[in-house]
Structure 1
Amino acid sequence: MFGLENAQSLVGIALAIGICWALSENRRLFPWKLAIGAVLVQAALVLALFGLPALRAGLEGVGHAVDGLSASTQAGVAFVFGFLAGTPDQPYVLTNPGSLFVFAFRVLPVILVVCALAALLWHWRILKWITQGFGVVFEKTMGLRGPPALATAATIFMGQVEGPIFIRSYLPSLSRSELFMLIAVGMSCVSGSTMVAYATILKDVLPNAASHVLTASIISAPAGVLLARILVPRVPGNEVSDPDNPVEDKVYESSVDALIKGTSDGLSIVLNVAATLIVFVALVAMLNGILGMLPSVGGQPVSVERILGVIFAPLAWALGIRWADAPTAGSLLGVKLVLTEFTAFIRMGGIPPGAIDERTRVIMTYALCGFANIASVGINVAGYSVLVPERRAEIMGMVWKAMMAGFLATCLTASVVGVMPSALFGHEPPPPKPAPVLAPTLAPNPTPPAASTPDHAPAKP
């Protein structure tokens, strides 16, 4: 049923679009048709994926596939690292079984395996056909030209810098609006390898986590396109005709070559993720040490997480989250922006069931599922400087705005999900709090109760 909390999420939709319109380079060129169409497409996809039995069964199958992939990966990790991989046969007596979940052994190897499988599926043309299919959909429904539509689709599965590689020869001739859109969409989505990693982190606290993460990355692409078009509107006269160069393609000599090169690419991603997490978590720990010298507030020490929770709590409420969970959800939004979404997902995965509402956890999964964070600014600048060096200065001038567009795009997606009825995702809204029981009071002139009589005795008149 559509309730007050669902209507509350409409505030998030209006807020995300309104902020981008207020900061637009040309507010008179607001894309009304695209705005209405993108939001409706997102809502229709969510309703179809979780409402139609066949598609819902397919999403559940994705969840089982992720579980199988995770288990298979652990077999390889256990072969190399032994009991350090968290196998049940530990050489010591376990006092805390939860400590067996080690990020380096349970999540990062999944990225490695998925990158290898993605390369193999690309070599077999399966992933290529899927990408081209999504590209046609974006081209027909959102008015994108062929090359940017293909890069947008590739970004969903390959990543924020890997997607544009396929149209590298087109990048110098793209309009400012199209180039900005590619950067913004890259920060709105996540790659296929990280989708599986996030699902692995959340599977113990979020039922069917893989379905939500996959859906989040797909439907955030239209949101990224919309907000990018609002911030940097399209000017058709600035779009030149496509060059004669064909779209570039990844070429592997054989299936074994694809697995080897995919593994090599995955290793660079794993090292990048691990190094980024170490540095950013260390910096926040340093800041928390400094803030800890300040007087306590509310009986607790001041920390980066608490400050971010206060700042982003109103935004979390606008997404459709009840106010009791807003500080926690706001802290997760801030952690995602400052410390990367990996850290935010790890924090949310550590929140036990019941500590926050199930609806809050679902909405936050969509709000966190994107690459919009400070670290991605550097990744995009470095990546695009190699892909299109002649436009590096232009990219430097728009990358921060693109990060904001990507961050708000995931918030827009989360708001659309918040509008949906809770029963669609298999859980019911929390029951209303029972009314307080008032102490019994005596009437001014209480009537004495009638004297009790045995069943066989007649009652006195």
Structure 2
Amino acid sequence: MAKRDNEAQPVLEDETEPEEENKAKRICKLVCLIVFHIVFIAYFIWCTVVYIRYDRKEHCHFNTTKDDSNSTQEVEYTPPILCLFNWCMGYGFLVVLFVLFYIAYFYYKVFKPYVGQKVYDNSIEPAIDKWMEFSRTRIMSIVMILFVIVVMGAIILFESRHELLKVRGVAAPIFFIFVGFVFSKHRRAIPWRIVVHGLFLQFMLGIVVIRWDRGREVFACAGDKAAIFFSYAREGALFVYGETIVNDFVFAFAILAGIFFFSVITSCLFYLGVIQFFLGVFGWLLQAMIGTTVCESVNAAANIFLSMSESPLLIRPYISRLTRSELHTICVSGYATVAGTVLGAYISFGASAAHLITASVMGAPGSLAFGKLFYPETEESQTKADNIELEASEDETLLDAAASGAANAMMIVLGIVSNIIAFISMIAFFNAVVEWSFELAGVDEVTFIGLLSKAFMPLVFLMGVPWYDCQKIGLVVAEKTLINEFVGYMDLGKMIMGGEIDARSAAIATFALCGFANPGSLGILIAALSVMAPTRRAEITEVAFLAFFAGSIVSFTSASWAGIFVQETEVNSISEKLIDLYLKNSK
């Protein structure tokens, strides 16, 4: 008996070891969490004290007035905490971060687990289901579509009351919807409610971000922070490449260095689950507002931050089960937006950071709308909200995530460089062939890219570009479509610096170029999705080509809305900033 007890003892120790180890990890995690909150709150309190005690002496003013009736002085006092309070910098920005962090923390750690989930399951979710069922009835869908059209028309007329030429910008979205209807795979199955709601959300985002002062301030702040953030990549580039190469603005070294920096940050945030959290929120909002499926909505939200080959990784286990329409919409989302990794490069060319972020955000709902217009759903989706879980990072540690992010950035940079070299060389060859052919016919200075720019002139004219700028804007749009957006933004920056185009044309072009719809990306996306779902390669190839045109149209539609909403004072300010930035980078 004693022998049996002795033999059983090691088994009990083996069983208790994992429990003790898990308990130790939980205690360690709890202690670290408590220490973090103590340090963070103490730091915030200290910064508040410093701001009140010291900043008011420098920034706040005390106005002294004299009352003649009793010869006493009254002091008009302004609370120091509000003196020159700027939400986008300094102490004001710290307050924003502090408040948002603890609101989110309290909601997800306290309210949602104990109260919120029960309220959602018992009240909110049934109400949403009833509303979705009611809103999808034929009569209600027609009423909602008519309401949206009337609202959009009224807003456009109001915006164009002082400048009727702005109304021309509506012609492009109408034309694109007509094109989508003509080339739609299943015209009778087009979900017009999703199409209209997606375009309406894209339209309203344009109003909030471009036309509304507060929204414009928020995105201007985000753009400024993005520009500052990407500027730190210059330090690494200077150390590795030296001042000569970086200061001479060599594209592959000075411009693309930011991709390494941002890729590492993105990979670390993905490992920590931060990106999955934001994507879950944005994806749920898109699904609730537009009516698309979970995978489509999450992927569209992911493309605001990640590249077209990275976003599908979040839903990788489900790609093989997606319908053709869902695959098509995922491809459209990839083409219609740009990744955060390349924003720094566009900014360095002279593109407005705020406009780039705005264009990428507007592209998400637009991609869902045109994705369903060109390829409506005719199958039953196999993915539901209750059986979807976002993919976690495969990295073991945070350091491993940073290393993999840097390695992935190398492939992105090499892909960009190789595509630019290959396609610019091809365009140069085609230019030479076309020029030689026309010279034989007695016509000089006719090139391939010149012919394409003329072909795009009617399109950019419909988007709101003045006719005298249409050939130049048509040129950069043609370059973006046939080569890539890098070449388009480089030439756009040169046009701005030389004063060759007006500010509104520059703003419209910034939105129109903001997308990955180019031949190189077509191959990249097909390859990436085929690796994740090898059995669906033929279907992916089929839908990706159609999605290429739909993705281009999404960017052009965003540009059309931007041309209507951008005000003259704003575009003049933007133009000055772009010229200053381009001159700075060209030194």
Q: Which has the larger radius of gyration?
A: 2
Distance 1:325 1:222, change over 3 A: same
Shift of 1:245: 7.2
The one-letter amino acid of 1:375's match is G
From the superposition, tell whether residues 103 and 294 of structure 1 become closer, same or farther in structure 2 (CA, over 3 Å): same
Query: Mean alpha-carbon deviation: is it higher for 124-133 or for 215-224?
Result: 124-133
Q: Does structure 2 conserve the Cα–Cα contact (< 8 Å) formed by 1:189 and 1:371?
A: yes
Residues 1:374 and 2:519 are matched in the alignment = yes
CA separation in 1, counterparts of 2:249 and 2:210?
Answer: 30
Instruction: Say which of 477, 480, 488 aligns to 1:336.
Output: 480
1:455 is matched with which residue? none
Task: Report if the CA contact (8 A) 1:116-1:263 is conserved.
Answer: yes
Q: Distance in 1 between matches of 2:381 and 2:415?
A: 35
Q: Aligned partners of 1:370, 1:239: CA distance in 2, in Å?
A: 27
Partner residue in 2 for 1:264:
407
1:133 Cα deviation after fit: 1.3
Change in CA separation of 1:305 and 1:36 when aligned onto 2, cut-off 3 Å: same
Kindly indicate whether the alpha-carbon contact (under 8 Å) linking 2:295 and 2:383 is maintained by their aligned counterparts in 1: no
Q: Deviations over 1:400-447 (max 9, x none)?
A: 1110111111111111212225247444999xxxxxxxxxxxxxxxxx
Name the residue aligned to 1:162.
310
Tell me, yes or no, if the aligned pair for 1:294 and 1:301 is still in contact at 8 Å: no
Q: Tell me how many residue pairs correspond in the alignment.
A: 412
2:332 corresponds to:
184
Q: Using the alignment, how far apart are the partners of 1:428 and 1:262 within structure 2?
A: 36
Instruction: Supply the distance in 1 between the matched residues of 2:166 and 2:289 (Cα, whole angstroms).
Output: 27
Q: Give the letter for the 2:451 counterpart.
A: I
Bigger RCO (CA 8 Å, 6+ sep): 1
Alpha-carbon distance in 2 for matches of 1:57, 1:285: 42
Within the candidate set 20, 37, 43, 2:203 is matched to 43
2:124 corresponds to 1:124: no
Q: Which amino acid aligns with 1:340?
A: N
> Which of 150, 168, 190 does residue 8 from structure 1 map onto?
168
Other-structure match for 1:436: none
- Which residue is equivalent to 1:140? 288
Alpha-carbon distance in 2 for matches of 1:130, 1:424: 34
Extract unaligned runs of 5+ from structure 2.
1-158, 576-587
Q: Structure 1 residue 69 and structure 2 residue 229: aligned?
A: yes
Check conservation: 1:7, 1:419, Cα contact below 8 A.
Answer: yes
* 2:301 counterpart SS class: helix
Superposed CA deviations along residues 230-269 of structure 1, whole A, max 9, x for unmatched, are 111123x522354967432224333322221111111110
RMSD across aligned C-alpha pairs, in angstroms?
Answer: 2.3
State the one-letter code of the partner of 1:166: L
Aligned-pair identity in percent equals: 27
For 2:502 and 2:387, locate their aligned partners in 1 and report how far apart those are by CA, in whole Å. 54
Residue pair 1:169, 1:247 contacting (<8 A) in 2 also: no
Question: Which of 214, 218, 243 is the matching residue for 2:357?
Answer: 214
Distance of aligned partners of 1:51 and 1:9 in 2 relative to their CA distance in 1, 3 Å threshold: closer
Pair 1:365 & 2:510 matched: yes
| Alignment CA distance shift 1:299-1:362 (3 Å) | farther
Return the offset for 1:270: 0.6
* 1:198-257 Cα deviation digits (max 9, x unpaired): 122125xxxxx111001101111211111111111123x522354967432224333322
* Residues 1:277 and 2:420 aligned together: yes
Matches within 5 A, 1:267-416: 267-295=410-438, 301-353=445-497, 354-416=499-561
**2-structure distance, mates of 1:52, 1:311:** 35
Kindly tell me: are residues 382 and 261 of structure 1, through their superposed partners in 2, closer, same or farther at Cα, counting changes over 3 Å? same
**AA in 1 matched with 2:298:** L
Give the distance between the partners of 1:310 and 1:373, measured in 2 at CA.
Answer: 19
The normalised TM-score by structure 2 is 0.67
The aligned amino acid for 2:537 is R
CA change 1:85–1:126 in 2 (3 A) is farther
Counterpart in the other structure of 1:34: 194
212 and 233 in structure 1: CA distance in 2 versus 1, 3 angstrom threshold: same
How big is the shift at 1:340?
1.1
Residues 286-332 of structure 1, C-alpha deviations (whole Å, 9 max, x = no match): 22222232446998511122111111100010101011111111111
| Separation in 1, partners of 2:485, 2:422 | 14
- Aligned-partner residue type, residue 351 of structure 1: M
Return the offset for 1:357: 1.1
**AA at the equivalent of 1:331:** L
Inter-CA distance 157–253: structure 2 relative to 1 (3 Å threshold): same
Q: What is the aligned partner in structure 2 of residue 171 from structure 1?
A: 319
What's the secondary structure of 2:304's corresponding residue?
helix
Q: 1:428 to 1:121 in 2, by over 3 A?
A: closer
Classify 1:75/1:298 alpha carbon distance in 2 versus 1 (closer, same or farther; 3 Å): farther
The aligned residue for residue 256 of structure 2 is 108
The equivalent residue for 1:152 is: 300
Unaligned ranges ≥5, structure 1:
88-99, 204-208, 431-461
**Does structure 2 conserve the Cα–Cα contact (< 8 Å) formed by 1:5 and 1:321?**
no
**Cα–Cα, structure 1 residues 274 and 421, in superposed 2: closer, same or farther, change >3 Å?**
closer
Equivalent pair of 1:74/1:85 in contact (CA under 8 Å): no
Q: CA offsets per residue over residues 340-390 of structure 1, 9 Å max, x none?
A: 111111111221342101111111111111111111221122111101111
Change (3 A) 1:53 1:429: closer
Q: Would the alpha carbon gap of residues 263 and 416 (structure 1) be closer, same or farther in structure 2, given more than 3 Å must change?
A: same
In structure 1, the partner of 2:37 is none
Residues 109 and 298 of structure 1, relative CA distance in 2, 3 Å threshold: farther
Q: Which amino acid aligns with 1:56?
A: R
Q: 2:348 aligns with which of 200, 225, 235?
A: 200
Q: Secondary structure at the match of 1:157?
A: coil
CA distance in 1, matches of 2:572, 2:500: 16
CA distance in 2, matches of 1:40, 1:229: 14
* CA deviation after TM superposition for structure 1 residue 34, in Å: 2.4
Q: Is the 8 A contact 1:313 1:326 kept in 2?
A: yes
CA contact (8 A) 1:108 1:270 kept: yes
Q: What whole-Å deviation, never above 9, does each CA across 1:49-73 have from its counterpart, x for those lacking one? A: 2344443333222233233234321
Question: Cα gap change, 1:421/1:83 in structure 2, threshold over 3 Å: closer, same or farther?
Answer: closer
Query: What is the TM-score when the length of structure 1 is the normalising length?
Result: 0.84
Partner of 2:372: 229
